[in-house]
Amino acid sequence: MNASTIDFPVQMNRNESNAPGQNMQKPNSPEPEAHAIAPATAFQIGKLSVSFGAHTVLKDVSLDIKARSVTAIIGPSGCGKSTFLRSLNRMHELVPDARMTGTIRLFGENIYGPEIDPVVVRRRVGMVFQKSNPFPTMSISENVTVGLRLNGIRNKGILQERLEKSLKMAALWDEVKDRLNAASTSLSGGQQQRLCIARALAVEPEVILMDEPASALDPLATTKIEELILDLKKDFTIVIVTHNMQQAARISDQTAFFYLGELVEYAATRKIFTNPSVKQTEDYVTGRFG
Amino acid sequence: MESASHHSYRKGKNVLMQLVTLACALLTIIPLFLIFFHLLRSGFGSLNLAFFTHLPRPVGEPGGGMANAIVGTLVLLGLATVLGVPFGVFGGVYLAEYASRRVAWIIRFTADILNGVPSIIWGMAVYALVVLRMKGFSVLAGGIVLGMMMIPMVLRTTEEVLLLVPSGYREAALALGISRWRTVCSIIVRTALKAIVTGLLLSLARVAGETAPLLFTAFGNSVWSHHLSDPIAALPLQIFTFAIAPYDDWHRQAWAGALVLLLMITLINIVVRLLTRDRFAK
Amino acid sequence: MGRWASVPPASAGPFQNLGMKTKDPGGDAGFSQDTGVKSPWDSIFKWFTFLMAMSVIALIFLVGYELFKSSRLSISKFGWRFLVSSDWDPVAEQFGALPFIFGTLVSSLIALIIAVPLSIGTALYLTELAPVWVRAPLAFLVQLLSAVPSVILGLWGIFVMVPWLRENLFPWLRSAFGFSPLFQGPIYGVSILAGGIIIAIMILPIITSVSREIIRSVPGLQREAAYALGATRWEVTRIAVLSYAKKGLFGAVILGLGRALGETMAVTMVIGNRPEIAKSLFAPGYTLASVVANEFAEATTEIYLHALFEIGLVLLGVTVLVNALAQLLLRAFGGSGVKA
């Protein structure tokens, strides 16, 4: 599935063509002939700076994030990686006094454009949080379908289909199919986090942001989430913040290393972990600081 | 080093103060037990089926009940809920989810002051506002005054419980592309719904026993009321009228009415206590 | 978008600045100053809740205005004399509120003298000194006491408390303290002292529960520091807790005073309702609230009704001031208000 197949009811006003593979305008995009096979660019981020009040958290970050791949964001705490992630679906705006400059384009379209509703951006760019947060008063199935229902989808058939599909994609279906109406709080921590992933998948986003999704889980549950991420990248663009470098190395295709609000190095994951070009990156991935 | 005698003096003082504060606690709750004891003793004997099904009888005629007052209290509470709760709940939503710090401070402060305005003052204001204009005591005036009194209470409890909802749920909902007002209504309020209802019940329990504001709004009567513009009886009013009258029969009825009213209120309090036991169990 | 959307003041709310301002010094991309097109329902809903919240502001002005409007005859006829005259003669249409002000102040003072030590002691017992298993049930009982309606307390007052006071406590007080004019004169039972006692019972729970919140919010570090010095439990309470919580406890007491001043039904039923200023606490009295409760429905002339409304206005003014003071004290202590 790619963005052009999404049948979401409220689509954002697109300035350009709907197909993500065809609206590359940047000079650094892959060669036009390679559209069909080469991964397209999901995000083009130019000179992104974010500050909260007087405190600057991100400085002049520019990078492109490939579609249908896993991009890991690593760096010591306080380096701005979480803020970076949140600026990709405008979640950082929930913090008072947040200010940003620069551009972020999602499949060519400026998501900070004057006519863009952040609500619509978030439908295209879903998010999974560090702490699993299924809505406590809702059942498992209600949790998965809540995004659809609150956006006006009432058709039982569609809801049922999306429920099953999302839970299957989140590798949770087999565990919960017999108790879809049970309380979401009855699930284990790892199951709750996969439920949150299913909930994000149900609205059929193009990108899924994950903010340390496994940091509160035990190793077994973490493995399941990692397998899931590798599976999901066939259909989705995934950007994941992690402080676990082994995890970044295991699951990501590209890795960006942030330090003190700046993007220090961004390259293929193998290169970052075996042959980084910058000394700071090497120090960090080899555990000399951070 | 501290001498042994000084040490035992300090120990002794410690025990003494524990006993003194224990005595304070006992003195504080003794009235509660005395009230329950006398209510049961003097009220229970007068409770019978007629009490719940009959209208009050004139002096001298034995029997009679407070059926209209019981129904009247329920009607007034229902009306108050309909009139007051939307203001309280949505106002609380504004405070918790939208208000700037300064506006929130002002509204909160005003609500807390309103909670301290004597109930008889509310009655006078509604007399001037409604009774004089409608040219008569009425169910409506009684419902309005109780509803007004509920607003600041419900507003404050709603705000408090909404602020307890972890912000993770707000984030999760917004990240699903759910619009803000839907997030508030369908996620945040729903998550806190039980606690909001609890606050609502507590404020109902509080206005259920109010007498002073009803004296010159609902006014009371001894027949069935059929229109919003009729006066209506209420348990607290009836208790008051019967208690200050010089007839033993009426005194017995007053005790019985008080017992019923207090049981209603205690029941609400116990329900609230059961509901709040697992607030936000995660 | 309404006017309000363009003036978002600094906020405590979790959603503030959703339409955040973007700054674009470089002119790098097409950012507008007001990013985001939101569905109209968002601002409609926000406006709706705003109006609902403003109802409390409207209410306080409405109540004040209605009382003022309905008392203007009395205000213009008697002026300030209303507050210092002790004439209350509906037949001669002479009205002065002094006996009621006196009765209200004296009965509230009696109530505070009784209730403050008891409720602070209870609060200390509940938070610091009681065995842990006692605390929750005891606190629930205190909460139940606060749920007893005034009229039920009054009923109990008339038929149980007043006779007991008349037969037992008052004669004993007179024989023990009869040298003081406060405890002289005939004993009727219904009296300003009985009114004070019943008010004390009414305000005990609120002072207790607010004090309990205050004491509970004393940082644990304060207590630990005192324990580390080898203090006993009571010494910890006195040194660390009471001295720290003083201001907040004062706020709790003032809050109790606010309730005492406006207490109506129970007082009306036991205070005797006689508008006179007597030296003895055994003599009947009258309060602002109870004169309204008793005479409002039978106020036949316009000036009489206006005088009663002015009494209400005085009571409103005093209770608003006292409650505002209490809330300010509690906020200064606790950061946020303590609701009651």
Sorted by where each begins, the domain ranges of chain C are 73-333
AA letter at C112: L
Q: What percent of chain B has pLDDT over 90?
A: 79
Instruction: Tell me, yes or no, if B174 comes closer than 8 A to chain A by beta carbon.
Output: yes
The two three-digit tokens of residue A169, written as one number: 């994609």
Question: A98 contacts in C (CB within 8 Å)?
Answer: 17, 20
- C273/C264 Cα distance (integer angstroms): 12
pLDDT mean for each 10 residues of chain A (290 residues): 39 39 41 48 94 92 94 91 93 88 93 89 93 92 93 90 94 94 92 94 94 90 93 94 92 94 94 93 82
B253 and B220 in a single domain? The answer is yes
Instruction: Tell me, yes or no, if B191 comes closer than 8 A to chain A by beta carbon.
Output: yes
Phi-psi group of C284: left, alpha or beta (phi > 0 → left; psi -120 to 50 → alpha; rest → beta): beta
CATH topology of domain C73-333: MetI-like fold (1.10.3720)
Select from B46, B64, B82 the last residue of a domain: B46
- C263/C157 Cα distance (integer angstroms): 14
Strands A55-66 and A109-110: what pairing? unpaired
pLDDT given at position A289: 66
Residues 6+ apart with CB under 8 A from A236: A68, A201, A205, A206, A207, A208
pLDDT given at position B171: 92
pLDDT 10s digits, C16-62: 333 333 333 333 332 323 334 467 888 999 999 999 999 999 999 99
pLDDT given at position C230: 82
Closest CA to B108 of C330, C263, C203, C45: C330
AA letter at C147: A
Contact B167 C232 (CB under 8 A): no
Mutate to test the interface with C, among B17, B38, B239 (most CBs of C within 10 A): B17
Question: C138 contacts in B (CB within 8 Å)?
Answer: 25, 29
Mean pLDDT, range C231-235, rounded to an integer: 86
Query: Rounded to a whole number, what is the distance in Å from the CA of B152 to chain C's nearest CA?
Result: 7
Residues of A at the B interface, defined by Cβ within 8 angstroms:
89, 91, 94, 119-124, 126-127, 129, 131, 133, 135-138, 146-147, 150-151, 185, 196, 199-200, 203, 205, 209
Contact A185 B190 (CB under 8 A): no
Question: C28 contacts in A (CB within 8 Å)?
Answer: 46-47, 101-103
Domain count, chain B: 2
Contact B186 A150 (CB under 8 A): yes
B127 and B209 in a single domain? The answer is yes
Confidence of residue C340 (pLDDT cuts 50, 70, 90): very low
Mean pLDDT, range B193-217, rounded to an integer: 94
> Domain of B261?
50-281
AA letter at C208: T
Q: Which of B156-160, B164-168, C200-204, C218-222 has the lowest mean pLDDT?
A: C218-222
Q: Is residue A61 part of a domain?
A: yes
pLDDT for residue C10 is more than 50: no
pTM of the entire predicted model: 0.85
Confidence of residue C220 (pLDDT cuts 50, 70, 90): confident
Q: CB atoms < 10 A from the CB of A230, how many? A: 13
CB A151 within 8 A of CB B177: yes
Torsion, Cα A82 A84 A88 A90, to 10 degrees, reads: 70
Select from B46, B63, B80 the last residue of a domain: B46
Q: Is residue A115 part of a domain?
A: yes
pLDDT given at position A13: 40
Contact B11 C232 (CB under 8 A): yes
Q: Is residue A26 part of a domain?
A: no
Confidence of residue B278 (pLDDT cuts 50, 70, 90): low
Q: Name the residue among A89, A137, A151 with its Cβ closest to that of B175.
A: A89
B127 and B212 in a single domain? The answer is yes
The two three-digit tokens of residue A138, written as one number: 């809702």
Contact A102 C28 (CB under 8 A): yes
pLDDT for residue C280 is more than 50: yes
> Domain of A74?
41-134+206-285
Instruction: Tell me, yes or no, if A174 comes closer than 8 A to chain C by beta carbon.
Output: no
Mean pLDDT, range B209-217, rounded to an integer: 95
- C162/B134 Cα distance (integer angstroms): 40
The two three-digit tokens of residue B11, written as one number: 């120990």
- A12/A123 Cα distance (integer angstroms): 9
- A139/B197 Cα distance (integer angstroms): 20
B35 and B57 in a single domain? The answer is no
- B142/B127 Cα distance (integer angstroms): 9
Question: C24 contacts in A (CB within 8 Å)?
Answer: 101
Domain count, chain A: 1
pLDDT for residue B8 is more than 80: yes
Instruction: Tell me, yes or no, if A99 comes closer than 8 A to chain C by beta carbon.
Output: yes
Mutate to test the interface with A, among B178, B182, B194 (most CBs of A within 10 A): B178
Closest CA to B154 of B214, B196, B209: B196
pLDDT for residue C13 is more than 50: no
Q: How far is CA A101 from CA A37, A60, A88, A181, C6, in A?
A: 33, 9, 13, 45, 20
Confidence of residue C298 (pLDDT cuts 50, 70, 90): confident
Question: A94 contacts in B (CB within 8 Å)?
Answer: 170-171, 174
Question: Which sign, positive or negative, has the C-alpha torsion A249, A252, A258, A263?
Answer: positive
Q: What is the mean pLDDT of chain C?
A: 86
Closest CA to B195 of B276, B111, B84: B276
pLDDT given at position A29: 42
Q: Is residue A78 part of a domain?
A: yes
Query: Rounded to a whole number, what is the distance in Å from the CA of A90 to chain B's nearest CA?
Result: 9
- B171/B177 Cα distance (integer angstroms): 10
pLDDT 10s digits, C65-95: 999 999 999 999 999 999 999 999 999 999 9
- C196/C102 Cα distance (integer angstroms): 13
The two three-digit tokens of residue B109, written as one number: 């402060």
CATH number of the domain at A115, please: 3.40.50.300
AA letter at B134: M
